Amino acid sequence: MSNQIELLSNAGAGATGKAVTLAADDLFVKVTASTWGGQTVKFQERAADGSWSDIPGAVFTVDDAKVYQGYRNQTLRAVTSGSGGSMAGVYVMVGQRFD
């Protein structure tokens, strides 16, 4: 069984995607943008106290797809950098495979 979730769709700079809680350890991540404009998409994880922190190495500056080694019950979200700029058309999709 496969599960795909859009975290960001047609977003620009300064956007925060919806949060997703992992049901398995590995997560497939696909990030694209029609215009990057020198900005980034990064993943953050929620701590037990509800605060969000950046995940080292989970930063995108160009279109990319990769496997993220997370852990079950980890809650993640995608955010774009900046509050202005030319970043546009950002799409972030995640998927997990369950056997």
Rounded CA separation 8/12 (Å): 9
User: Which residues touch 64 (CB under 8 Å, ≥6 apart)?
Assistant: 29, 30, 31
Extract the tokens encoding 37: 């404009």
pLDDT tens digits, 18-28: 999 988 888 89
Sorted by where each starts, the structural domains of the chain and their CATH numbers stand as 2-97 (2.60.120.790)
User: Is the pLDDT assigned to residue 99 strictly greater than 70?
Assistant: no
User: Is the pLDDT assigned to residue 72 strictly greater than 80?
Assistant: yes
Res 82: pLDDT: 82
Amino acid sitting at position 29: V
User: Is the pLDDT assigned to residue 70 strictly greater than 60?
Assistant: yes
